[in-house]
Amino acid sequence: MTHRETGYAQILLSAIFIAGYFWVLSAFIDGKVRVPIDWKDAMMTLLGVLTASVVQVMGYWFARQRASTEPKGTS
């Protein structure tokens, strides 16, 4: 797999994850998801983990530097 293909795969997976996160978040906000009181703590924990993952994905894209072993212009 080339650097370009790897980059496209990373972009695609990141976009799918971020879009899915906001879709789930909007379902909770709009009231489409009704969580039983017994599951409230578990759902809050799950939403917190997903939110932390979004921050991690965004941090990856804004703070990363690519290291390439290929000559310039061939990526």
Per the domain annotation, does 74 fall within a domain? no
Per the domain annotation, does 7 fall within a domain? yes
Per the domain annotation, does 72 fall within a domain? no
Task: Output the pLDDT for position 44.
Answer: 93
Range of the domain at 26: 3-63
Residue numbers of the chain with a pLDDT score lower than 70: 64-75
pTM (two decimals): 0.74
> CA torsion sign, 51 to 52 to 54 to 58?
positive
Per the domain annotation, does 71 fall within a domain? no
Task: Output the pLDDT for position 56.
Answer: 93
Number of domains in the chain: 1
Per the domain annotation, does 25 fall within a domain? yes
Per the domain annotation, does 51 fall within a domain? yes
Per the domain annotation, does 75 fall within a domain? no
